[in-house]
Amino acid sequence: MLDFNTMKKYSNSVPTVGGRVLRLSLVLAAVCSVVIVLLIIAARPGEVQSGELSFTILHTNDEHSALLPHTLTVNEGIAGEDHYRIGGFARLAMAIEQVRQEKQVQGEPVLLFNAGDFLGGAAFGWLAPHGYSPEIKLLQEMGYDAVVIGNHEYDYGPDTLADYLLRAGYPGAHQETVVLAANTRAPEDHPLASRQLYLLDQVFELKNGLKIGVFGLIGEDAINVTADTGELEFQDQSQVARDALSRLEEQGADVIVAVTHSGVDEDRELARDVPGIDIIVGGHCHTALDEPVMEGKTIIVQAGYMVEFLGQLELAYDPAGEKVRVRNEENETPFLLPIDDRFEPHPGIASLVDAYKEKLDNLVSEMTDGRFEDILAAVARSDFEITNRPPLQETPAGNFITDAMRLVTEEVSGERMDVAIQANGSIRGSFVPVSEAGKPGKISFYDITGVAGLGYGDDVYPGYSIITTYLTGEELLRLLEVAALLEELMGDTYFLQFSGLRYSYNPQNIVLFTIPFMDQPLPSTRAVVEAELYSGEGVQPAGEGDYQPLEKGDETLYRLVTDTYILSFLPMVGELLPGLEIVPKNAAGEPVPLERKEELTVPHRGRELKVWETVVEYAASQPPGEDGVPAIPELYSDTSGRINQVSTFPLVAWIYLGIAALAAGFCFLLRRRWRRNKMKHHASFYR
């Protein structure tokens, strides 16, 4: 293409009349060239079409107090080295800042949403009941426009949540970061309601004139697994969404966004029930959606958990057609940005995280009488990952944690503990050692408590409290039937891991059949084929050992170790199925109601012994390695044959055989009677 100055110089050198014509022609050619270039640029993929308004939604969910990076493995979908550090609020802040800067150059507005469970999980969540609000303060610093309250925000109860939000500057802080909870109803005299610490919805007016209406919901499954909601009530999600939709449209919202803590399945159901929702930014089920799920015209996104990813959804709104479309593919923009070492830590956020780490170090030192003073120091080393996979099976992590609960509680109390149980839902991941040059991988206090640090106790200290109670041998067998039933009906979250026994069961015999028209499964209570109690001392070995059979009708009392959360739901099974009744008892065999569960806790260091504490102490008690740091034994590199699925003749087949036998017998009698009547008829005919 000719340079414009060259053409001008050339045109000035031609004769006057012809030169003017040629000069004009060359100028027109140059103008046309510029127009063509502009049209080509305008037509390039990724640019919004005429009349459309572009905007971007950034989103995260389920951070679970993971302020610092944590370790994942190749098995969890991260390519590259075996052990890989990912996440951290400082890296996340840098990723957000970079995207915002890019979009600012393009003149494109950005909204940033959080879909709940920013609290609860990693040990930084322990600061919530002790006067600090690190997670929400950091979200404010990073410029989140709105967050929704998830189930783990209630880990310490609604009163602590109210204090947590008040410390973070609410209700005034809604001006910076709106806290949404449209289907949550607190009593009028509770500060969550009286101080307006959460709002139902909000309209954001962007610089391009677009109005985005946003409301927040907590889903049914999330409500069902909240630790403590006090007197709070939760309304039907779909009806609340329809009401929010009407309010936001009345306020002139062009685009409707639901920020939900519900899980993808419930989000899809919501989109079907309320088709006017344009976008659902979701959380709760920890799903990293590589591309949006489309339910009708509703765009559903979710970004994993624990700051693995920053979700990026690029959109365009057509005012004429009132439609929203996704632009990521045409822009070649991924929907998920991995938060890894491609992002340097944001200096300001990193400094704040360091300050909160110092506060956490002080709290941990206080709780452990100075035994552990640095949450990142090595408690133990390991050459292997102690995995919590696969789901719905015995796992090495389940064995390690239940062994810790049984053996450390035994040591603290000075009394024998027979069996320990823990649910997969309370085991928040694997123990993944962090590689160090020339040394086996390090497992720190932070790593351990990130896996086993959920909950809090009546002593107002973090972590679910250890409970010891007595059950009969018959009740232990019922407990195993309950474990099988929970697996079948409620999935991996309620799958129980065990220490102190081993058993075999047939999954085909858990449920006889589903009652028609009620969609109600009928349990057999005969799934367990064989069960044995470990009668030896110390760690339950893999393979052979000292075991005694558990028999039906055994009234001997055995001591069970669990936590306050699991204790709360075990008796409920007996209320629904009397044949599986389990009654917590004291040493004298007297029932102890849940209202008096404090009688079953284990005193330790002036408070209650915690699940996380047993796991940390158990790791620290292992024999030292070459560098003097405790080394995890090979036993926990694999499972130990504690939970075994077997195949036997299905019970339902016996029922069908019985029915078939009855039917055959009935047919035989009917045929015999018919023949007898026929013979009588013939006899009367020939008389």
Quick check: 254 and 278 in contact, CB under 8 A?
no
Residues 401, 322 share a domain:
no
pLDDT in the model for residue 301: 98
Quick check: 217 and 266 in contact, CB under 8 A?
no
92-142 pLDDT per residue, tens:
999 999 999 999 999 999 999 999 999 999 999 999 999 999 999 999 999
465-506 pLDDT per residue, tens:
999 999 999 999 999 999 999 988 889 999 999 999 999 999
CB atoms within 10 A of CB 639: 17
Q: What's the distance, CA 154 to chain centroid?
A: 14
Is residue 218 assigned to a domain?
yes
What is the extent of the structural domain holding 402? 382-643
408-451 pLDDT per residue, tens:
999 999 999 999 999 999 999 999 998 766 667 899 999 999 99
Phi, psi of 676, rounded to the nearest 5 degrees: -65, -45
Task: Tell me the CA distances in angstroms from 343 to 84, 113, 617, one per residue in order.
Answer: 14, 20, 35
Q: In 3-state terms, what secondary structure has residue 161?
A: helix
Give me the mean pLDDT over the 658-685 stretch: 59
pLDDT confidence band for 578 (50 / 70 / 90): confident
Q: Which residue do the tokens 């006889």 mark? A: 512
Give me the mean pLDDT over the 519-523 stretch: 78
pLDDT in the model for residue 85: 80
Residues 299, 394 share a domain:
no
Residues 414, 286 share a domain:
no
CA gap 92, 570 in Å, rounded = 40
pLDDT in the model for residue 438: 60
CA gap 396, 231 in Å, rounded = 38
Task: Tell me the CA distances in angstroms from 679 to 236, 270, 667, 670, 687, one per residue in order.
Answer: 69, 69, 18, 14, 13
Residues 396, 293 share a domain:
no
599-631 pLDDT per residue, tens:
999 999 999 999 999 999 999 999 999 899 999
Give me the mean pLDDT over the 578-604 stretch: 94
Domain harbouring 599, CATH code: 3.90.780.10
pLDDT confidence band for 568 (50 / 70 / 90): confident
CA gap 436, 452 in Å, rounded = 23
Is residue 415 assigned to a domain?
yes
Lowest mean pLDDT among 298-307, 620-629, 653-662: 653-662
Q: Which residue do the tokens 């947590």 mark? A: 164
pLDDT in the model for residue 274: 98
Is residue 92 assigned to a domain?
yes
272-295 pLDDT per residue, tens:
999 999 999 999 999 999 999 999
| pLDDT above 90 as % of the chain | 76
Regarding beta strands 70-73 and 83-86, do their DSSP bridges make them parallel or antiparallel, or are they unpaired? antiparallel
Average pLDDT, the chain: 88
**Is 90 exceeded by the pLDDT of residue 657?**
no
Residues 671, 554 share a domain:
no
pLDDT in the model for residue 41: 38
pLDDT confidence band for 677 (50 / 70 / 90): low
Quick check: 226 and 233 in contact, CB under 8 A?
no
pLDDT in the model for residue 639: 97
**Is 80 exceeded by the pLDDT of residue 26?**
no
pLDDT in the model for residue 258: 98
Quick check: 105 and 84 in contact, CB under 8 A?
no
Residues 341, 466 share a domain:
no
Residues 307, 392 share a domain:
no
CA gap 320, 52 in Å, rounded = 9
pLDDT in the model for residue 51: 87
Is residue 357 assigned to a domain?
no
Give me the mean pLDDT over the 81-101 stretch: 87
**Is 70 exceeded by the pLDDT of residue 456?**
yes
Give me the mean pLDDT over the 266-270 stretch: 98
pLDDT in the model for residue 660: 55
Which of the pair, 650 or 150, is modelled with greater confidence? Answer: 150
Is residue 118 assigned to a domain?
yes
Please spell the DSSP secondary structure of 216-258, one letter per residue.
EEE-HHHHHT-S--TT-EE--HHHHHHHHHHHHHHTT-SEEEE
Domain harbouring 342, CATH code: 3.60.21.10
Residues 614, 508 share a domain:
yes
pTM score: 0.85
Quick check: 113 and 144 in contact, CB under 8 A?
yes
pLDDT in the model for residue 654: 47
CB atoms within 10 A of CB 48: 18
CA gap 617, 598 in Å, rounded = 23
Residues 624, 507 share a domain:
yes
pLDDT in the model for residue 322: 92
Taking each helix axis from N to C terminus, what angle separates 396-413 and 611-620, rounded to the nearest 10 degrees?
A: 90
Q: How many domains would you assign to the chain?
A: 4
pLDDT confidence band for 512 (50 / 70 / 90): confident
Is residue 150 assigned to a domain?
yes
Burial profile 196-235: b = 16 or more Cβ within 10 angstroms, e = fewer:
ebbbbbbebebeeebebbbbbbbbebbbeebbbbeebebe
pLDDT in the model for residue 434: 85
CB atoms within 10 A of CB 657: 11
Residues 184, 81 share a domain:
yes
Quick check: 425 and 225 in contact, CB under 8 A?
yes
Regarding beta strands 211-218 and 255-261, do their DSSP bridges make them parallel or antiparallel, or are they unpaired? parallel
Quick check: 624 and 613 in contact, CB under 8 A?
no
Is residue 180 assigned to a domain?
yes
CA gap 350, 342 in Å, rounded = 16
Is residue 376 assigned to a domain?
no
pLDDT in the model for residue 84: 62
pLDDT in the model for residue 678: 57
Residues 667, 635 share a domain:
no
169 closest CA partner among 200, 133, 202: 133
Residues 519, 462 share a domain:
yes
